[in-house]
């Protein structure tokens, strides 16, 4: 069984609620939710932004 580490799991394990994460990452709730559901279409700029946090 392959184990995946998703954006949502990472956020939850960091103790952040969706709204808290959106404030830290500078994106709206719908955008972050979309990224969490389909992490294959997340822009590289977003990953660079969350690395800073």
Element (H or E) spanning 50, and its range? Answer: helix 44-52
Between CA 41 and CA 35 the distance in angstroms is: 7
pLDDT in tens, 6-48: 899 999 999 999 999 999 999 999 999 999 998 888 999 998 8
Between CA 17 and CA 20 the distance in angstroms is: 5
What pTM was computed for the model?
Answer: 0.81
pLDDT band per the 50, 70, 90 thresholds, residue 53 = confident
Between CA 1 and CA 28 the distance in angstroms is: 33
């Amino acid at each position: 069984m392959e184990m995946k580490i998703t954006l949502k799991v990472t956020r939850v394990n960091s103790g952040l609620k969706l709204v808290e994460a959106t404030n830290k990452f500078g994106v709206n709730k719908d955008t972050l939710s979309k990224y969490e559901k389909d992490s294959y279409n997340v822009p590289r700029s977003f990953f660079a932004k969350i690395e800073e946090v």
